[in-house]
Amino acid sequence: MHDAPRGNLPRGSRTTRLDDWWRSVANETWARALLPHFDLSALRPISTDNATKICSSCVDTDFLSPVLDLGRTLQDLERGSYDCRVCKLLLHCLLKAQPKPDGKVKLFIDDDISAFRTSDDGEPLVSIYSDPHHGPVLAHAQFGLPFLPEFGSTQQFRLLRQWAQLCDETHDCLSGKTDTKATGSMPTRLVYVGSDTDPRMRLVHASNRATDKYMALSHCWGVLSAQEKFCLYANNKKDLEQDIPFEALPKTFRDAVTVTRELGISYIWIDSLCIIQDDDQDWEAEAARMGTVFSSAYCTIAASSATCSLEGFLGTRTQREATAIKTIRGHVYLAESIDDFQKHVEQGALNKRGWVFQERALSRRTIHFTSTQVYWECGGGIQCETQARLRNSQSEFIGDPNFPVYALKHHKDDRIRLIQYLYRVYSGLSLTKMTDRPKAILGLQERLASAFESSAKYGVLSAYFERMLLWVAQDRGGMSRIAYAPAQRVPSWSWMAYAGKIQYMEIPFKQVNWMGNFIDPLGSLSNEADWDGRLLAQANNLLIDQAELETKSRIDRGDCKIDCIHWKCVVCGQSKLSDEYGNFDHYVLLIRQTPSGGAMNTYERVGVGVLLGTHIVPGTTEVWVV
């Protein structure tokens, strides 16, 4: 199936595209404000004397040059690593890139991230830092920490407090929050973490209190036995309201309480302690409030590397390789590159969970604890513990403290791309109960509907209805229908009805006429309490053989056999440009009659396609797509 018209696009029709490229941005102001709070002697390599433990080849190398042409092979560095600390560092970092063992090593500086790569598209290998005590930042270098504070140390907690203070003072990430003296915006329950004058930790009812700062924990439960879980149940509620023994908590909860106390905050929200786990009614009510809980929190603690609540996140740290070098322009530090928010957080254990996606997106600020380093995420970007600051134009949509205002700052084309990015990522995440697929993103969907002044149902916005209806399985035929209860049924036209990751058809912007063959989609009918997701549409019969339809379509499920005689299509859009033969592409939703013995004019989605007008029989029939 081809996804774009074959005609030539006219000059000026190209639209701005977002990219998925991570960049380091200038961070000297924050770094200069933060570094004086550290005992830097403990966070730097000790020696800057090039006469000790450094070979003559490394002494002669200008590490502030944009290109490091070492003139040595990997074997040369291996031999030198026994006596030279710089060779040892370079060898350690280069082995991650798997270079040719007999090739001469050449590294190129990437000024976007102040790190050396082996090629333009290679991963960052060696970061270079300048010493703020020795004048201005040097070319190609950044202010930062070669070594990092120990997890849970005084230095690390000092950093977290400074991050929060700087964000409070210089960003508007908390703007729009309810006035601190107002009532009614607090979660139903919170855990009071104790204080010097009132040390007893306990569960409190918070919904009728004046609003106060609280933290929220985002974590993986993991596969635990009933004895290993520490949860709120109907039969222990009164006990936990009297006292929660700190040592009885799982390690992740203890660590979260410790961070909350160190930040000077009195309360924390933890799902397993603030929702009655054996009360379905309470769970449903609190799940519906989840978005508000995270968006109203002072900050979210994300246990990004912990796979269960027993692991914790304030453990021991293996320091990265780093060394100091004295140059004619000042002291610099070379260190193994570890600033990788995508790998450590977005692809980490925690963020593979569907519920966590919404927790991150609706949080105003998040502290991500990974096994490598801590990241602070807010409207100013991603602040690394190394003191680098990272930005990514797509990821910032999820990290927007006022989600989804970031999207509204873009043109229409990029707004659509960002919404599609959100649904595409979410569709690939795991859920313990696949029937939670609509629930775990409900808060985000409500925000999108409000911001875009449209209806949002089942992962589709009415503002861009037909384009967003044309999703496809990322893996051909890789979707399977989720067995929802009858009262929770999700319509076939929604990707939420299936398990599996999606992507969207590559349909050019400004080059398609949307046909309006779905009548009042997500309109007045969808607001009725008993609406079951059915859409009224004008459908056409097909005039194409099976072999050709296979090349021009993407079928959702592998067990669905193409039937050109009985299937129909709903034309969603038609290209404004024709090919050299005068043919126009038609972007269609493929449907078949429901196999469950429903009404004759009731159909379900089976896939999408790009057909020519000659493949579609003129004249339409009114059908229901359910």
| 282-304 pLDDT tens trace | 999 998 888 899 999 999 999 99
Tell me: do 326 and 366 sit in the same domain. Answer: no
446-462 confidence digits (pLDDT tens): 999 999 999 999 999 99
The whole-number average pLDDT for the span 470-485 is: 93
Establish if 2 belongs to a structural domain: no
Helix segments in 243-315, DSSP class H: 251-262, 271-274, 280-288, 290-296
The whole-number average pLDDT for the span 556-577 is: 95
With a pLDDT cut of 70, the percent of the chain lying above it is 92
pLDDT at position 39 is 84
Instruction: Identify each DSSP E strand in 111-192 by its residue range.
Output: 115-117, 126-130, 142-143, 189-192
The whole-number average pLDDT for the span 582-606 is: 90
pLDDT at position 599 is 75
* Of the residues 405, 434, 457, the one at which a domain ends: 405
pLDDT at position 180 is 38
pLDDT tier at 269, thresholds 50, 70, 90? very high
Tell me: do 570 and 608 sit in the same domain. Answer: yes
The whole-number average pLDDT for the span 183-200 is: 85
pLDDT at position 317 is 87
Tell me: do 240 and 118 sit in the same domain. Answer: no
Q: Does position 271 have pLDDT exceeding 80, yes or no? A: yes
- Computed over every residue of the chain, the mean pLDDT equals 89
Establish if 6 belongs to a structural domain: no
173 or 111: which leads in pLDDT: 173
pLDDT at position 50 is 56
- The backbone region for 140, taken as left when phi is positive above 0, alpha when psi lies in -120 to 50, beta otherwise, is left
Q: Does position 211 have pLDDT exceeding 70, yes or no? A: yes
pLDDT at position 52 is 66
Distances (CA, A) of 117 to 68, 90, 107, 112, 326: 10, 11, 5, 12, 22
Establish if 164 belongs to a structural domain: yes
pLDDT tier at 474, thresholds 50, 70, 90? very high
The whole-number average pLDDT for the span 219-224 is: 91
* Of the residues 388, 405, 422, the one at which a domain ends: 405
pLDDT at position 598 is 67
Tell me: do 144 and 171 sit in the same domain. Answer: no
184 or 616: which leads in pLDDT: 616
- The backbone region for 47, taken as left when phi is positive above 0, alpha when psi lies in -120 to 50, beta otherwise, is beta
**Distance, CA of 372 to CA of 174 (rounded, Å):** 28
Q: Does position 261 have pLDDT exceeding 90, yes or no? A: yes
**Distance, CA of 368 to CA of 517 (rounded, Å):** 46
* Of the residues 339, 370, 396, the one at which a domain ends: 339
Least confident of 205-219, 237-251, 359-373, 485-499: 205-219
Cis check for the bond before 401: say yes or no (omega within 30 of 0): no
Q: Does position 399 have pLDDT exceeding 90, yes or no? A: yes
Q: Does position 182 have pLDDT exceeding 50, yes or no? A: no
Establish if 306 belongs to a structural domain: yes
pLDDT at position 11 is 32
Closest C-alpha to 558, from 481, 502, 477, 499:
477
With a pLDDT cut of 90, the percent of the chain lying above it is 69
Q: Does position 8 have pLDDT exceeding 80, yes or no? A: no
pLDDT at position 490 is 96
Q: Does position 511 have pLDDT exceeding 60, yes or no? A: yes
The whole-number average pLDDT for the span 383-401 is: 93
183 or 622: which leads in pLDDT: 622
Contact call for residues 623 and 602 (beta carbons, < 8 A):
yes
Q: For 111-116, which contacts have Cβ atoms below 8 Å and span 24 or more sequence positions?
A: 111/66, 111/140, 112/23, 112/24, 113/22, 113/23, 113/24, 113/337, 113/339, 113/388, 113/390, 114/24, 114/140, 114/141, 114/142, 114/388, 115/337, 115/339, 116/68
Domain that includes residue 32, residue range = 23-149+319-339
Count of all residues that appear for the chain in the document: 626
**Per the structure block, which two tokens stand in for 69?**
């042409």
The whole-number average pLDDT for the span 355-383 is: 96
Establish if 7 belongs to a structural domain: no
122 or 428: which leads in pLDDT: 428
Establish if 18 belongs to a structural domain: no
Q: Which amino acid is at 241?
A: E
Q: Does position 4 have pLDDT exceeding 60, yes or no? A: no
The whole-number average pLDDT for the span 466-479 is: 93
Give burial (CB, 10 Å; 0-12/13-18/19+) of 495.
buried
The whole-number average pLDDT for the span 218-227 is: 91
pLDDT tier at 51, thresholds 50, 70, 90? low
Q: Does position 203 have pLDDT exceeding 90, yes or no? A: yes
Tell me: do 113 and 205 sit in the same domain. Answer: no
**Per the structure block, which two tokens stand in for 115?**
């790190």
Q: Domain total for the chain?
A: 3
pLDDT at position 48 is 54
Q: Does position 3 have pLDDT exceeding 70, yes or no? A: no
Tell me: do 401 and 496 sit in the same domain. Answer: no
pLDDT at position 47 is 60
- The backbone region for 98, taken as left when phi is positive above 0, alpha when psi lies in -120 to 50, beta otherwise, is left
Tell me: do 514 and 385 sit in the same domain. Answer: no
Establish if 80 belongs to a structural domain: yes
pLDDT tier at 122, thresholds 50, 70, 90? confident
pLDDT tier at 526, thresholds 50, 70, 90? low
Tell me: do 424 and 557 sit in the same domain. Answer: yes
pLDDT at position 92 is 94
pLDDT at position 15 is 53
Least confident of 15-19, 187-191, 425-429: 15-19
The whole-number average pLDDT for the span 202-219 is: 90
11-36 confidence digits (pLDDT tens): 333 455 688 888 887 677 888 888 88
pLDDT at position 107 is 92
Tell me: do 484 and 554 sit in the same domain. Answer: yes
pLDDT at position 22 is 85
Beta bridge partners of 214: 267
The whole-number average pLDDT for the span 203-221 is: 90
Q: pTM for the complete prediction?
A: 0.90
Beta bridge partners of 612: 585
pLDDT tier at 143, thresholds 50, 70, 90? confident
The whole-number average pLDDT for the span 540-566 is: 94
The whole-number average pLDDT for the span 337-365 is: 95
Block residue for tokens 């009042």: 520
Q: Does position 59 have pLDDT exceeding 60, yes or no? A: yes
The whole-number average pLDDT for the span 337-343 is: 95
Tell me: do 91 and 164 sit in the same domain. Answer: no
pLDDT tier at 123, thresholds 50, 70, 90? confident
Tell me: do 445 and 496 sit in the same domain. Answer: yes
pLDDT at position 136 is 65
Establish if 15 belongs to a structural domain: no
DSSP 134: G
Tell me: do 437 and 562 sit in the same domain. Answer: yes
293 or 196: which leads in pLDDT: 293
Least confident of 498-512, 529-543, 592-606: 592-606
